[in-house]
Protein backbone atom coordinates (compact mmCIF):
# COMPACT_ATOMS: atom_id res chain seq x y z
CA UNK A 1 0.00 0.00 0.00
CA UNK A 2 2.19 2.78 -1.29
CA UNK A 3 3.07 5.11 -4.12
CA UNK A 4 4.69 3.34 -7.02
CA UNK A 5 8.06 5.00 -6.36
CA UNK A 6 11.36 3.15 -6.61
CA UNK A 7 12.15 3.71 -2.91
CA UNK A 8 8.89 2.00 -1.90
CA UNK A 9 10.14 -1.13 -3.70
CA UNK A 10 6.72 -2.52 -4.57
CA UNK A 11 8.20 -3.99 -7.73
CA UNK A 12 10.87 -5.65 -5.57
CA UNK A 13 8.08 -7.32 -3.58
CA UNK A 14 6.50 -8.61 -6.79
CA UNK A 15 9.89 -9.87 -7.95
CA UNK A 16 10.79 -11.77 -4.79
CA UNK A 17 7.26 -13.18 -4.61
CA UNK A 18 7.50 -14.27 -8.25
CA UNK A 19 10.91 -15.88 -7.80
CA UNK A 20 9.76 -18.12 -4.93
CA UNK A 21 7.53 -20.99 -6.14
CA UNK A 22 6.78 -22.16 -2.59
CA UNK A 23 5.57 -18.68 -1.57
CA UNK A 24 3.33 -18.53 -4.65
CA UNK A 25 1.97 -21.97 -3.74
CA UNK A 26 1.16 -20.88 -0.19
CA UNK A 27 -0.39 -17.43 -0.79
CA UNK A 28 -1.54 -14.92 -3.35
CA UNK A 29 -0.25 -11.35 -3.51
CA UNK A 30 -2.39 -8.22 -3.29
CA UNK A 31 -0.65 -4.99 -4.26
CA UNK A 32 -2.26 -1.65 -3.47
CA UNK A 33 -0.53 1.03 -5.50
CA UNK A 34 -0.99 3.48 -8.35
CA UNK A 35 -4.07 3.08 -10.55
CA UNK A 36 -2.56 0.94 -13.31
CA UNK A 37 -5.48 1.66 -15.64
CA UNK A 38 -4.43 5.32 -15.90
CA UNK A 39 -1.37 6.63 -17.69
CA UNK A 40 1.17 8.35 -15.45
CA UNK A 41 3.07 11.52 -16.32
CA UNK A 42 5.75 10.67 -13.74
CA UNK A 43 8.80 9.07 -15.40
CA UNK A 44 9.80 7.09 -12.30
CA UNK A 45 6.28 5.77 -11.88
CA UNK A 46 6.14 4.79 -15.57
CA UNK A 47 9.36 2.82 -15.15
CA UNK A 48 8.06 1.06 -12.03
CA UNK A 49 4.80 0.17 -13.78
CA UNK A 50 6.76 -1.27 -16.71
CA UNK A 51 8.88 -3.35 -14.28
CA UNK A 52 5.74 -4.54 -12.48
CA UNK A 53 4.12 -5.71 -15.71
CA UNK A 54 7.41 -7.34 -16.70
CA UNK A 55 7.60 -9.35 -13.46
CA UNK A 56 3.95 -10.37 -13.71
CA UNK A 57 4.64 -11.75 -17.19
CA UNK A 58 8.11 -13.18 -16.45
CA UNK A 59 6.96 -15.16 -13.39
CA UNK A 60 3.52 -15.99 -14.83
CA UNK A 61 1.72 -14.38 -11.89
CA UNK A 62 -1.67 -14.19 -13.59
CA UNK A 63 -4.10 -15.64 -11.04
CA UNK A 64 -1.61 -15.17 -8.18
CA UNK A 65 -1.60 -11.38 -7.96
CA UNK A 66 -4.28 -8.73 -7.60
CA UNK A 67 -3.25 -5.12 -8.27
CA UNK A 68 -5.71 -2.77 -6.59
CA UNK A 69 -5.59 0.98 -7.17
CA UNK A 70 -4.33 3.03 -4.22
CA UNK A 71 -7.11 4.21 -1.96
CA UNK A 72 -7.32 7.78 -0.73
CA UNK A 73 -10.19 7.01 1.64
CA UNK A 74 -8.94 6.04 5.12
CA UNK A 75 -12.05 4.00 5.88
CA UNK A 76 -11.56 2.00 2.69
CA UNK A 77 -7.90 1.48 3.60
CA UNK A 78 -8.95 0.14 6.99
CA UNK A 79 -11.35 -2.24 5.27
CA UNK A 80 -8.56 -3.51 3.03
CA UNK A 81 -6.38 -4.26 6.06
CA UNK A 82 -9.28 -6.00 7.80
CA UNK A 83 -10.18 -8.03 4.71
CA UNK A 84 -6.61 -9.35 4.51
CA UNK A 85 -6.57 -10.02 8.27
CA UNK A 86 -9.88 -11.89 8.05
CA UNK A 87 -8.23 -14.24 5.53
CA UNK A 88 -5.20 -14.63 7.84
CA UNK A 89 -2.91 -12.83 5.46
CA UNK A 90 -0.01 -10.53 6.23
CA UNK A 91 1.14 -7.03 5.35
CA UNK A 92 4.52 -6.57 3.67
CA UNK A 93 6.21 -3.17 3.53
CA UNK A 94 9.33 -3.70 1.38
CA UNK A 95 10.68 -0.13 1.11
CA UNK A 96 14.41 0.40 0.68
CA UNK A 97 14.01 3.07 3.36
CA UNK A 98 10.96 4.30 5.28
CA UNK A 99 11.41 7.29 7.55
CA UNK A 100 8.34 6.60 9.69
CA UNK A 101 6.06 3.79 8.51
CA UNK A 102 2.41 4.84 8.84
CA UNK A 103 1.20 1.80 6.88
CA UNK A 104 3.13 -0.43 9.29
CA UNK A 105 1.29 1.11 12.23
CA UNK A 106 -2.05 0.89 10.41
CA UNK A 107 -1.57 -2.78 9.55
CA UNK A 108 -0.42 -3.70 13.05
CA UNK A 109 -3.38 -1.81 14.53
CA UNK A 110 -5.63 -4.09 12.47
CA UNK A 111 -3.83 -7.13 13.85
CA UNK A 112 -2.05 -8.02 10.63
CA UNK A 113 1.25 -9.81 11.05
CA UNK A 114 3.57 -7.28 9.44
CA UNK A 115 6.82 -7.81 7.56
CA UNK A 116 8.58 -4.48 7.10
CA UNK A 117 11.90 -2.99 6.13
CA UNK A 118 14.60 -2.89 8.73
CA UNK A 119 15.79 0.41 7.22
CA UNK A 120 14.15 3.31 9.05
CA UNK A 121 11.18 3.66 11.34
CA UNK A 122 9.67 0.19 10.95
CA UNK A 123 12.86 -1.27 12.40
CA UNK A 124 11.95 0.44 15.67
CA UNK A 125 8.21 -0.19 15.50
CA UNK A 126 8.36 -3.97 15.11
CA UNK A 127 9.85 -6.39 17.62
CA UNK A 128 11.08 -9.16 15.32
CA UNK A 129 9.26 -12.45 15.88
CA UNK A 130 6.93 -10.96 18.48
CA UNK A 131 4.91 -8.16 16.88
CA UNK A 132 6.00 -8.69 13.28
CA UNK A 133 9.13 -9.35 11.28
CA UNK A 134 12.03 -7.32 9.91
CA UNK A 135 12.97 -7.82 6.28
CA UNK A 136 15.92 -6.52 4.35
CA UNK A 137 14.58 -5.30 0.99
CA UNK A 138 18.04 -5.71 -0.51
CA UNK A 139 17.78 -9.45 0.17
CA UNK A 140 14.48 -10.40 -1.44
CA UNK A 141 15.22 -14.14 -1.40
CA UNK A 142 15.64 -14.06 2.39
CA UNK A 143 12.48 -11.97 2.78
CA UNK A 144 10.55 -14.50 0.67
CA UNK A 145 11.91 -17.38 2.79
CA UNK A 146 10.87 -15.59 5.98
CA UNK A 147 7.34 -15.33 4.58
CA UNK A 148 7.37 -19.00 3.53
CA UNK A 149 8.52 -20.02 7.01
CA UNK A 150 5.77 -17.92 8.60
CA UNK A 151 2.99 -19.39 6.48
CA UNK A 152 4.30 -22.94 6.88
CA UNK A 153 4.45 -22.47 10.64
CA UNK A 154 0.87 -21.18 10.56
CA UNK A 155 -0.17 -24.42 8.82
CA UNK A 156 1.58 -26.50 11.49
CA UNK A 157 0.49 -24.39 14.46
CA UNK A 158 -2.96 -22.86 14.08
CA UNK A 159 -2.25 -20.41 16.92
CA UNK A 160 0.89 -18.88 15.36
CA UNK A 161 -0.90 -16.28 13.20
CA UNK A 162 -3.01 -15.19 16.15
CA UNK A 163 0.07 -14.93 18.41
CA UNK A 164 1.82 -12.49 16.03
CA UNK A 165 -1.46 -10.63 15.44
CA UNK A 166 -1.98 -10.10 19.16
CA UNK A 167 1.69 -9.13 19.53
CA UNK A 168 1.24 -6.44 16.86
CA UNK A 169 -1.84 -4.97 18.55
CA UNK A 170 -0.13 -5.06 21.95
CA UNK A 171 2.96 -3.27 20.60
CA UNK A 172 0.82 -0.50 19.09
CA UNK A 173 -1.18 -0.10 22.30
CA UNK A 174 2.00 0.08 24.40
CA UNK A 175 3.88 2.54 22.19
Q: What tens digit of pLDDT does each residue of 51-106 get?
A: 999 999 999 999 999 998 877 777 888 899 999 999 999 999 999 999 999 999 99
Q: Is 104 within the bounds of a domain?
A: yes
Instruction: Please give the mean pLDDT across all residues of the chain.
Output: 94
Per-residue pLDDT for 26 more than 90?
yes
DSSP letter assigned to residue 105 = H
- HSE of 114 in the Cβ direction (CA atoms, 13 Å)? 31
Predicted confidence at residue 40, as pLDDT, reads: 80
3-state secondary structure of 15: helix
- Whole-angstrom distance, CA of residue 109 vs CA of residue 48: 29
User: What is the domain extent for residue 138?
Assistant: 6-174
- Does the pTM exceed 0.85? yes
Q: How many CB atoms lie within 10 A of CB 166?
A: 14
Indicate which CATH number applies to the domain containing 47: 3.40.50.2000
Distances (CA, A) of 50 to 83, 112, 145: 28, 30, 26
Q: Is 66 within the bounds of a domain?
A: yes
Per-residue pLDDT for 16 more than 80?
yes
Predicted confidence at residue 88, as pLDDT, reads: 97
Q: Domain total for the chain?
A: 1
Q: Which helix (H) or strand (E) holds 117?
A: strand 114-117
- Whole-angstrom distance, CA of residue 1 vs CA of residue 104: 10
Q: Is 1 within the bounds of a domain?
A: no
Q: What tens digit of pLDDT does each residue of 112-130 get?
A: 999 999 999 999 999 999 9
Which has more pLDDT, 173 or 2? 173
Q: What tens digit of pLDDT does each residue of 29-49 get?
A: 999 987 776 778 889 999 999
Amino acid sequence: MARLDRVKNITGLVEFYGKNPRLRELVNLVVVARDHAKASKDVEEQAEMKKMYGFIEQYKLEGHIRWISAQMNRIRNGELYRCIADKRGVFVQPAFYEAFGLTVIESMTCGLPTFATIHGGPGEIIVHGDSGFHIDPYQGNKAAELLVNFFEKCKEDTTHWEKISKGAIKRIEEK
